[in-house]
Amino acid sequence: MKNYNKNKFQALNGGYATAEAMRQINPEVVAAYPITPQTPIIEKFAEFVADNKVDTEFVCVESEHSALSATVGASASGIRAMTATSSQGLALMNEILSVASGLRLPIVMPMVNRALSAPINIHCDHSDSMSTRDLGWIQIFCETAQEAYEYTFLALKLAEKVLLPVMVMQDGFFTSHNVEPVKIYPDEVIKKFIGEYKPKNYLFDLKKPITVGPLVLPDYYFEIKYQEIEAMGEAKKVYLEVGKELKKITGNNYPYFEKYKLEDAEVAIVVSSSSAGTAKVVIDKLRKQGKKVGLLKPILFRPFPQNEIKESLKHLKTLAVLDRSVSFGGEAPLFSEIKNALYPLDKKPKLQSYVFGLGGRDLFEKEVEEVFEELLKNKIGEVKYLGLRK
Amino acid sequence: MSMDIKTLAQKIDSNKKLVSGHRTCAGCAIPIIVRTILSATDDPLIVAAATGCLEVTSTIYPYTSWNVPWIHNAFENVAATLSGVESAYNALRKKGKIDKEIKFIAFGGDGGLYDIGLQSLSGALERGHNCLYVCYNNEAYQNTGGQRSSGTPKGSMTSTTPAGKKEKRKDLMQIVLAHHIDYAAQAAVHNTLDLYQKAEKAFKTKGPSFLNVLSPCTLNWGYMPNSTIQISKLAVETCFWPLYEVEKGKYKLNYKPSQKLPLEEFFKAQKRFSHLLKPENKNMLDEIQNEVDENWNELLRKSS
């Protein structure tokens, strides 16, 4: 890796790694409200503010609704603005999520996945971000603290190019609170990568006063929403372009999804975020036993890379999708997307849906192994619940 | 500060920050209030509006009546939204990227500030942003057909209190003042000079300031569009809506009626109180009159 020697490894949890990315971005405004397990991000960032490591106006608002509302106001002003949240916080922001995307504001929001109430629970699952998948935000799921750190930069540049907000997810506690060696790139390298933000239309352009957030009736609403649809399509292309640029710094790839021993696999699982790490360990073990198993780890969830996923999975005999969330009365979100993606194929892999890890329940290697064994034995059927006591 | 009404009228008239073409009802008080307030500073300003009458009537895409930068986010978050704008300004000023003095002003109705936006307002007041928050108070959710709000006065008929509201209205001034802000005032649309002077003071205040402006609603208060100013005046002459200000904790009564009119004079001019004027409801009218008297006496005590 080109800059390997120049880059420092630091022992950071996912929250601190994200705060470090925010320090390097140095946004003009951060408005945030504390919620477990997002707190390491904003506490660390508050330290940067107190130590004058950033120029940011840090607005400690009285709720997540106000956090995103203030971020929207700040972003519309023509500057970089960020916030961060989790779970109930994201749920409280829900109304303003579609305002941020509808107003085409390039807000980047680190999002630490945590289960939704009730029952109240502070641990990881993906029910929070999955419940907001249709609100016009680009969604990126990260496996590690390193990914959470690096994808924050990709997200920023992507957001500013396509004028859509981006959520960068990491798993609550598993990623946000566990310490890993994180390679931190030099400030000046990152500064150069993100460049200066030059918005076209913004509130502080006093010579050209604009009206942000007008009332739009049936005569124009549809066309405006169509522009958003097109921007999401564009985001898919720009994501790869920005990823290539970032690779010049980090040496890492930024694909739509990671393929792990997938090319020659006969059976595979699809699982995102930190659980993909567990899956990789199991795959290595089973490969040693001569079993042709593999993994597809989705990273970019919105926009969803349907065709590319189809092409990468079409050779499989059987496939399991592991969802860390449910859709009550419907198929689990990731499973449903994968199933859709495979629809155009004449010869489709057999599909099995698993739901696991709700409310932070651990996913053990043994369980992943069992999933592979069942796939290998062609035991396909109704949705199964991993780790559930019945 | 001192200005005759003719000069003021010219000043407001020449002010083109909110221009004609908006679609408020004939006789609506809101544009008068907004234009009077926006005339009270020569600095550039940025306006935020909560969802409500002002927002929906002035920005029907692809048109806008605003000649100043303007932002609408949602219903309950005008104060938080503006606090983001003001924070962006502070950041840019710190970096030397902006040197102009800019004023920040948020408008919301009583729905947007008494009710659903109260938390957002409270948060912003506590954080001390250098903004002016204005409630154009038409005493119900008039934009959606006149449903009760916590700013609706006792006895008033609304579409969700067809038999009259049973509860007293919330005292938003007291709530706002509990945030230790340096300037808060109550005003009404008919007394333009008083409103203008209060806006001037508010703009000069360092930190948050608040104006609660009575904004009669021809449609849902039930009166002819040409009576808006007269209705507003009656609200003040009956002491239903006293004009006062609180500057650094000090109360000042801005207008004392030479002869305090009975509440009935205000009530009988509108449909929303018509039921209170029936002989069988005399006890309710008396009860409300007593409350108005008590509030007035308390205000006299506080401002003496």
**Looking at CA atoms only, how far is residue B97 from chain A in angstroms?**
11
Evaluated on CA atoms A62, A64, A65, A69, the torsion sign reads positive
CATH of domain A257-386: 3.40.50.920
pLDDT tens, B230-271? 999 999 999 999 999 999 999 999 999 999 999 999 999 999
Query: Are the beta carbons of B84 and A72 separated by less than 8 Å?
Result: yes
Q: Distance (Å, rounded) from C-alpha B215 to C-alpha B138?
A: 5
Range of the domain at B121: 5-303
pLDDT by 10s per residue, chain A, length 390: 444 455 689 999 999 999 999 999 999 999 999 999 999 999 999 999 999 999 999 999 999 999 999 999 999 999 999 999 999 999 999 999 999 999 999 999 999 999 999 999 999 999 999 999 999 999 999 999 999 999 999 999 999 999 999 999 999 999 999 999 999 999 999 999 999 999 999 999 999 999 999 999 999 999 999 999 999 999 999 999 999 999 999 999 999 999 999 999 999 999 999 999 999 999 999 999 999 999 999 999 999 999 999 999 999 999 999 999 999 999 999 999 999 999 999 999 999 999 999 999 999 999 999 999 999 999 999 999 999 998
Cα nearest neighbour of A205 on chain B? B69
Distance from CA of B138 to the nearest CA of A (A): 21
* Residue B237, SS3 per DSSP: helix
Q: What is the dihedral of CA A300, A302, A303, A309, to 10 degrees?
A: 50
Among left, alpha and beta (phi > 0; psi -120 to 50; other), residue A380 is beta
Is A209 near chain B, with CB under 8 Å?
yes
Q: Name the residue ranges covered by the structural domains of chain A.
A: 4-197+216-250, 257-386
Chain A hits for B69, Cβ within 8 Å: 203-206, 209-210, 212
Q: Do B119 and A29 touch (CB under 8 A)?
A: no
The amino acid at residue A374 is E
Distance CA A348, CA A351 (A): 9
Taking the Cβ of residue A59 and every Cβ of chain B, the question of whether any pair is shorter than 8 Å is answered with: yes
pLDDT tens digits for A221-261?
999 999 999 999 999 999 999 999 999 999 999 999 999 99
Q: What is the pTM of this model?
A: 0.97
Q: Do B82 and A73 touch (CB under 8 A)?
A: yes
B25: distance to nearest CA of chain A, Å? 17
Count Cα atoms within 13 angstroms, Cβ side, for A179: 4
Minimal CA separation from B46 to chain A, in Å: 8
Are B239 and B296 in contact by the 8 Å Cβ rule? The answer is: yes
Task: Give me the number of domains chain B comprises.
Answer: 1
Q: CB A74 to CB B85 under 8 A?
A: yes
The CATH classification number of A4-197+216-250 equals 3.40.50.970
Beta pairing, strands A300-302 & A318-323: unpaired
CATH number for the domain that contains residue B170? 3.40.50.970
